[in-house]
Amino acid sequence: MANLRHNTKGGFVKAVILVLVALIVLGYFGYNIADIINKPVVQGNLEWAWNLTKNVWNGFIEKPAIFVWNQVAGLMGWTVIDWEINTASSTPLTR
């Protein structure tokens, strides 16, 4: 019986090739990505998106992500992030 399942895995190499092809096509039609990115309107939009990303991370994702990381790191014996100090330094896991 034939396998009718479709492979849904995209793959990193496939994504890189797709981006390269898109850049080549844009260049062929005369678009300069650097000029587009450096426009003030685009810079404003990128700044807004970056600030939104930081606010979502700091407000909602950071504490649960660090908790999950510490649980996994604790099981593996890796370095645990010390949340109470709230610095970039890490403390070794003590058991």
For residue 23, pLDDT beyond 90: yes
Domain extent listing, the chain:
9-36, 39-95
The pLDDT mean for the chain works out to 82
**pTM of this structure:** 0.55
Q: What is the pLDDT of residues 47-78, one digit of tens each?
A: 999 999 999 999 999 999 988 988 888 777 77
For residue 11, pLDDT beyond 60: yes
Compute the distance between CA of residue 93 and CA of residue 87 in angstroms, rounded to an integer. Answer: 16
Q: Can you spell out the DSSP letters for 42-75?
A: HHHHHHHHHHHHHHHIIIIIHHHHHHHHHHHHHH
What does the pLDDT read at residue 76? 77
* Pick from 57, 68, 71, 66: nearest CA to 84: 66
What does the pLDDT read at residue 6? 65
